[in-house]
Amino acid sequence: MLELLLQQAVNGLTQGMAYALVALGLTMIFGVLHIINFSHGELYMLGGLMAVVATTMLGLPYGLALVLAVVAVVAIAALVDLVAVRPVLPTKDGPSTVLLSTFAVSLLLHQSVLSTWGPNPSRVEGLAGSLSLGPIVITNHRLLVLVSGVVILLAIEYVLRRTLVGRRIRAVAQSEFAAQVVGIDVARIRTLTFLGAAAIAAIAGALIAPVSLFTPSMGQHAIITAFVVVVIGGMGNATGAVVCGLLLGLLEALASAFMPQDMGTAVIYALLLIFLLIRPQGLFAGRAR
């Protein structure tokens, strides 16, 4: 039993890393643009789709598929930004209208893929081989997901803290007005953040596809889970998003040992309502900012 739980925990952490990356992008966009990008989950799904297309249809090696996924998804995200975010944001009721327009985009992306690709799951060949740690087996691909996840998180931390672009992003997040006063091109920083978050989502999608199969509906599940993560972690709180993403992945995997998978999902979704009711500021809101 313990072994099963440990095995599930390792699997859950892998999935949790994907949730963490998607939620991190969502919360970054919220922090800088003050909008909720509803289409973010579909960008993650498209990352997975690109991995399928590149490996099974084009026969490319997996490493190249990752690169292709990022490039393609960033290009699509640029289009989304151009059509549904950038021109809508300055209008009356901007942020809530962006919520609507990105909702429309998410429907469009999801339905287009569903209608052309079909609802069935597709396999993706990731890294082969596996590693045994006593009774627990961890595939090399899961290891890759975990390691790349950590590397990406460290890279984001480095960019935000140590580079000029990162300082500009943080300046815009704190006060757009003040950022403008000191000569920062706010619109450019917004777009940059949006595309950066899209790239992270694409990598997450392409990384997780070999683990949990690709389906066109993986984006819908991911966006709701990311919302749960972001609400529990505190809206706009990056650390909260990462920690809660990993925790939820873990929880989902452990729950699936005790109940049907769908019910586990329902329980996790219900956490959102519970947190909204009893601790709306999130778990990590202790420190005032």
Size of the site for other proteins (CB under 8 A): 40
Rg of the Cα atoms in the chain: 19
Among 100, 131, 154, 178, binds other proteins (CB under 8 A): 100
Question: Could you tell me which residues come within 8 angstroms of residue 162 by beta carbon, excluding any fewer than 6 positions away?
Answer: none
**Binding of other proteins by 265 (CB under 8 A):** yes
**Binding of other proteins by 270 (CB under 8 A):** yes
**Binding of other proteins by 140 (CB under 8 A):** no
CB of 260 to other proteins, least distance (A): 6
Among 19, 44, 62, 227, binds other proteins (CB under 8 A): 227
Question: Could you tell me which residues come within 8 angstroms of residue 114 by beta carbon, excluding any fewer than 6 positions away?
Answer: 216, 217
Binding mask 106-135 for other proteins (x = CB under 8 A): -xx--xx--x--------------------
Long-range contacts of 85-92 (CB under 8 A, 24+ apart): 85/33, 85/35, 85/37, 85/190, 85/194, 86/187, 86/190, 86/191, 89/33, 89/35, 89/190
Report the run of H or E that residue 136 belongs to, with start and end: strand 136-139
Nearer to other proteins by Cβ, of 137 and 270: the residue is 270
Among 87, 119, 154, 188, binds other proteins (CB under 8 A): 87
Residue 23 and residue 53: Cα distance in Å, rounded? Answer: 25
Residues 24-43 close enough to bind other proteins by CB under 8 A: 36, 38
**Binding of other proteins by 231 (CB under 8 A):** yes
Q: How many CB atoms neighbour CB 186 within 10 A?
A: 16
Residue type, position 40, single letter: H
CB of 139 to other proteins, least distance (A): 28
**Binding of other proteins by 164 (CB under 8 A):** no
Nearer to other proteins by Cβ, of 148 and 265: the residue is 265
**Binding of other proteins by 256 (CB under 8 A):** no
